[in-house]
Amino acid sequence: MRVFKFGGASCNSIERIQNLPTILNKYRDEQIVMIISAMGKTTNALEIVAQEYYKGNCLKSVELLNEIKQLHLTTSQSLLKTSFNICAEKLQEYFIETEKLLHSEKVYEYDFYYDQIVSIGELLSTCIISFYLNEVGINNHLLDVRTILKTDDNYREATINWNATQQQIAAYPFHQSLTITQGFIGSTPKNFITTLGREGSDYTAAVFANLLNAESLTIWKDVDGVMNADPKSINDAQLIHELSFNEVIEMSYYGAQVIHPKTIKPLQNKGIPLYVKSFINIDNAGTVISAKAVNNLPPIIVVKTNQVLIHLHTKDFSFVGEEPMAALYKIFSTVKIKPNLIQTGAISIQICLDNWEEKIEQLKQLTAHLFNIDITTQLQLLTIRHYTNELKNNMLANKDVLLIQQSKETFQALYLS
Ligand code: ASP
Ligand code: MG
């Protein structure tokens, strides 16, 4: 059994969806489980629907949902010759359900609504693709992942209940040659929908690969594989043919957008190789990520934009002892904040975070009794793994640097954008 993951870019247009059979036909005789994300930027659009609903702008949220509906209906109409009507009916069911929610009174926290709303992106894309593939002779079965992937109720960052999920997977007849299902979403014991964190479809794919003891996982992307830098911002970015699991865990920790950070562990635990391949140049080898150690890697460059530096000063100029530190970490966990870098000094602590306004506001309120706070926005965080001094200096030339941290392997600098 092989697990394939197709992200939003692989199905963001009619042409891209029509490209899927070319790939799948190469694996006709194999058992495939295909995990799919929402089409293109649908998740971003649905996030705005959720925000408008929560702000009390019901009409606006319904209007935005309508735009998403039209886009999906038009796409399926262009793709489907014989099964458009039944597909459209199915899509309508999801929209009606969501619209009902948008008209309902707000009684839960935002994250709950976010998950109920944003999750339809994956339900829509898989529905359309399943119908389309069946029409072009690639018989498949559409599995509703909510019946399989069980999680806790930590909305927007749900934790998988591995035992419950394992039991569901064991009971499901994966005898079909091709099973299609949704990435990114799951459900609680009470059957509310949860999501696994943005870009979480990679992780879903890894969970399936692990629990199915798959021979491999392939993530199909619009790039040739894993690069040592983002080719959009660095001209001579190069493809890395081979990487170890550990290196990829480090890279994604520092914010490389290659693979969702949680993807590697489930694969590493079972020694399942991960292939990152292009869905455009399908015969290119791409990158293989496995347990094998890889030496002589090129420098790997990651730049995180839209960073914020929060400078916390103890209110009474006392040293930052264990207690305020413990309190601060407790607050990170309450607010669900993951600092990208922390530097402690005698009477102050500096933390670099993604610019997530609601969370920063919460952090400010919860730490107000301990610290005075300064905030600097519009920063970039550069990380170089396997750095050279020359590269480091080149990349920081003319930059207004606020903070530097380095170890033997990893160099980080925070500077004004
Ligand atoms: N559609 C979700 C997102 O855009 C999940 C994913 O793409 O993996 O975050
Ligand atoms: Mg996506």
What span, in angstroms and rounded, lies between the C-alpha atoms of 168 and 172? 6
Opening angle at CA 397, ends 405 and 353, nearest 5: 40
Q: How much is the pTM?
A: 0.88
Q: Which CATH number fits domain 2-290: 3.40.1160.10, 3.60.15.10, 3.40.309.10, 3.40.50.720?
A: 3.40.1160.10
Structure tokens at 203: 């992780």
Q: What confidence score (pLDDT) does residue 75 get?
A: 98
Nearest CA to ligand 1 atom 3: 199
8 lines ligand 1 (CB under 6 A): yes
CB-CB contact of 278 with 233 (8 Å): no
In this prediction, residue 373 carries a pLDDT of 94
Query: Is the CB of 224 inside a 6 Å radius of any atom of ligand 1?
Result: no
Pick the CATH number of 300-416 from 1.10.510.10, 3.40.50.300, 3.30.2130.10, 3.30.70.580: 3.30.2130.10
In sign, the C-alpha dihedral spanning 400, 404, 409, 410 is negative
Q: Which ligand is nearest to the CA of 201?
A: 1
Q: Which residue is closest in CA terms to ligand 1's atom 7?
A: 199
Could you tell me if the CB of 201 is within 6 A of ligand 1? yes
Could you tell me if the CB of 126 is within 6 A of ligand 1?
Answer: no
Which residues have C-beta within 8 Å of that of residue 379, sequence separation ≥ 6? Answer: 307, 308, 309, 352, 402, 414, 415, 416, 417
Q: Going residue by residue through the chain (417 aa), what tens digit of pLDDT does each one get?
A: 999 999 999 999 999 999 999 999 999 999 999 999 999 999 999 999 999 999 999 999 999 999 999 999 999 999 999 999 999 999 999 999 999 999 999 999 999 999 999 999 999 999 999 999 999 999 999 999 999 999 999 999 999 999 999 999 999 988 778 999 999 999 999 999 999 999 999 999 999 999 999 999 999 999 999 999 998 888 899 999 999 999 999 998 898 888 888 999 999 999 999 999 999 999 999 999 999 999 999 999 999 999 999 999 988 877 788 888 999 999 999 999 999 999 999 999 999 999 999 999 999 999 999 999 999 999 999 999 999 999 999 999 999 999 999 999 999 999 999
- pLDDT for 14 equals 98
Q: Which atom of ligand 1 is nearest to the CA of 202?
A: 8
Q: CA distances (Å), 175 to each of 33, 141, 170, 178, 179, in order?
A: 11, 10, 12, 8, 9
Which residue bears the tokens 């059994």? 1
Mutate to test the pocket of ligand 1, among 201, 222, 260 (most ligand atoms within 8 A of CB): 201
Query: Which pLDDT score, from 0 to 100, does residue 318 have?
Result: 79
In this predicted structure, what is the pLDDT of residue 218? Answer: 98
179 lines ligand 1 (CB under 6 A): no
Decide: 60 in ligand 1 pocket, CB within 6 A: no
Residue 58 CA from chain centroid, whole number = 28
Tell me the Ramachandran region of residue 351: left when phi exceeds 0, alpha when psi lies from -120 to 50, beta otherwise: beta
Query: What is the whole-number distance in angstroms between the Cα of residue 46 and the centre of ligand 1?
Result: 11
Residue ranges per structural domain of the chain: 2-290, 300-416
Verify whether ligand 1 is closer than 6 Å to residue 279 (CB atom): no
- Ligand found nearest the CA of 8: 2
Tokens of 18: 């029509």
pLDDT score for 316: 81
